[in-house]
Amino acid sequence: MLETELTRMLGIQYPLFLAPMAGGPATPELAAAVSNAGGLGNLGGAYLTPDQLRSTIRRTRELTDRPFGVNLFVPELPEEQEGEVGQMTTELNKYRAQLGIELNPSIPKSSESFQEQVQVLLEEEVSIFSFTFGIPPHDMLQAMKQRGIVIIGTATTVEEAIRLEAAGVDAIAAQGSEAGGHRGTFLKSDSDALVGTMALIPQIVDHVSIPVIASGGIMDGRGLAASLVLGATAVQMGTAFLACPESGAHEVYKHKILTSHEDSTAITRVYSGKPARGIQTTFMNDMDQYSGIIPAFPIQNVMTRDIRQAAARANNPEYMSLWAGQGLRLASNHSAAEIVEQTMDQAKALLKKW
Ligand SMILES: Cc1cc2nc3c(=O)[nH]c(=O)nc-3n(C[C@H](O)[C@H](O)[C@H](O)COP(=O)(O)O)c2cc1C
């Protein structure tokens, strides 16, 4: 046991969360394995249709009777700018030609509807809901609170954390700039809020009265112990679990995770239109030279999907998005249960020693 305010609130043994990871890595098997090992598994439901979301929740329930959370993206609805989209289509055709896929594909409308996704969470009686990219409407949060759902919002600055607390969330996932995947920033211009975990956690802790979950660059018991000392009441680890057998990450992605280093990542908008940290690829480096305007999220994300999928089919990591944080060199391919156990043993030993 390592009890904190959050472990008591959530009914879990350890203050260790699997970070929600949309797009495939956080499978029901991975989320359930972390929950069964005493941590908190989290499903990344953002890109799932309501039906897929429902079956993913149900599958996870078959694998664990412990609590787990579900995460969604608060939607942004940018206007589609025809000129930008047309220019980007032409640019992306270069990669389509290289990968041997259809040029000028029609751009499918995003099929995920936030309202419908939330409805599924309510119907399936999910007990923990987390979100990123903003703050859901007041009525929605109230409906969840009335049902006793624990709500966790993502902040990358003190100001965002204060706004989330005022909106009524129960805890804050504080995402440092080391973190893999998309930046949760919603108040500042996207790339301004790059505050490291070590600096961010104590500053957020000082300005809110609800529990704070440290996220970004935490890979083992040292990161967990340090986060608790900084005032966090749990940690959220993503990259640490990406290469484990239960993760749904593609094999070449797992290989890249295990062979890349602390300086292998960069923050880029070229895959999705929103800043995200991932291992540097040819696509990223090449598209950095693009002089046009990159369409906003989620338009760019939808536009590059065929390229990322074709690259995955061809086992070519250079055109896939390889989201990962700066703790890369500490990643392993151990099972999720082993990672939880090793992290907890190390943290407990360190906290005792000090
Ligand atoms: C592959 C991947 C996908 C992610 N998807 C989501 C997501 O759907 N929702 C979310 O709130 N955060 C998402 N994140 C961010 C994580 O929740 C978390 O902030 C990050 O993994 C922590 O940093 P670390 O990777 O260094 O542990 C994702 C991260 C990765 C690596």
DSSP letters for 268-322: ESTTTSS-EEEE--HHHHHHTT--SPPPPTTHHHHHHHHHHHHHHHTT-GGGS--
pLDDT(189) > 80: no
> Which two three-digit tokens encode residue 181?
């995947």
Give the three-state DSSP class for 166: helix
* Closest ligand 1 atom number to CA of residue 249: 1
Average pLDDT across the chain, whole number: 96
What three-state secondary structure class fits 63?
helix
> According to the model, what pLDDT value does residue 111 have?
60
| DSSP reduced 3-state for 153 | strand
The H or E element containing residue 60 is: helix 50-63
Closest CA to ligand 1's atom 29:
181
Give the pLDDT score at 112.
63
- Categorize the per-residue pLDDT at 277 as very low, low, confident or very high, splitting at 50, 70 and 90: very high
Average pLDDT of the segment spanning 204-222: 98
Q: What is the pLDDT of residues 287-329, one digit of tens each?
A: 999 999 999 999 999 999 999 999 999 999 999 999 999 999 9
pLDDT at 110: 67
Is the pTM for the entire model greater than 0.85? yes
Q: Minimal CA–CA distance to 29: which of 71, 68, 75? A: 68
CA angle 8, 13, 17 (to 5 degrees): 90
Write out the DSSP string of 112-128: --HHHHHHHHHHTT-SE
Residue whose CA lies nearest to ligand 1 atom number 13: 21
Cβ 215 under 6 angstroms from ligand 1: yes
Confidence of residue 354 (pLDDT cuts 50, 70, 90): confident
Q: Report the alpha-carbon distance of residue 318 to residue 196 in Å, rounded.
A: 27
Task: Give per-residue pLDDT as tens, 142-155.
Answer: 999 999 999 999 99
Question: Measuring from atom 17 of ligand 1, which residue has the nearest CA?
Answer: 19
104 alpha carbon – ligand 1 mean position (Å): 31
Going from the Cα of 297 to the center of ligand 1, the distance in angstroms, rounded, reads 16
Please determine, for residue 1, whether its predicted confidence score (pLDDT) is greater than 90.
Answer: no
Say how many Å lie between the CA of residue 269 and the centre of ligand 1.
15
Pairing type for strands 265-268 and 276-279 reads antiparallel
Q: Which residues of 142-152 are buried (b: 16+ CB within 10 A; e: fewer)?
A: eebeeeebbbb
> Is 108 or 326 the better-scoring residue by pLDDT?
326
Please list the residues that pair with 266 across neighbouring strands.
278
Cβ neighbors of 309 (< 8 A, separation 6 or more) are none
Query: Would you say residue 342 has pLDDT above 90?
Result: yes
Task: Please give the pLDDT value at position 314.
Answer: 97
Q: Which residues pair with 236 in a beta bridge?
A: 17, 215
**Among 3, 131, 125, residue whose Cα is nearest residue 67:** 125
How far does the centroid of ligand 1 lie from the alpha carbon of residue 40, in Å? 14
- If you search the block for the tokens 């959220």, which residue do you land on? 236
Residue 9 has pLDDT above 90, yes or no: yes
Atom 3 of ligand 1 has which residue's CA nearest to it?
21
pLDDT of the residue at 193: 87
Tell me the β-bridge partners of 41: 68
325 touches 216 (CB < 8 A): yes
Structure tokens at 345: 């043993």
Tell me the C-alpha distance between 224 and 327, whole Å.
13
Distance, CA 86 to ligand 1 centroid (Å)? Answer: 30
Residue 108 has what pLDDT? Answer: 76
Q: Is the CB of 175 under 6 A from ligand 1?
A: yes
Q: Does the beta carbon of 180 sit less than 6 angstroms from any atom of ligand 1? A: yes
What is the position in ligand 1's atom list of the atom closest to the CA of 215?
22
* CA 88 – CA 40 distance, rounded (Å): 40
Q: Report residue 347 as tokens.
A: 């943290």
Q: Distance (Å, rounded) from C-alpha 295 to C-alpha 273?
A: 6
Q: Is the peptide bond before 105 cis (omega within 30 degrees of 0)?
A: no
CA of 323 to the centre of ligand 1 (A): 8
CB of 7 within 8 A of CB of 228? no
Residue 192 has pLDDT above 80, yes or no: no
Where is pLDDT greater, at 238 or 193?
238
Of all residues in the chain, what percent carry a pLDDT higher than 70? 98
Q: 179: Cβ below 6 Å to ligand 1? A: yes
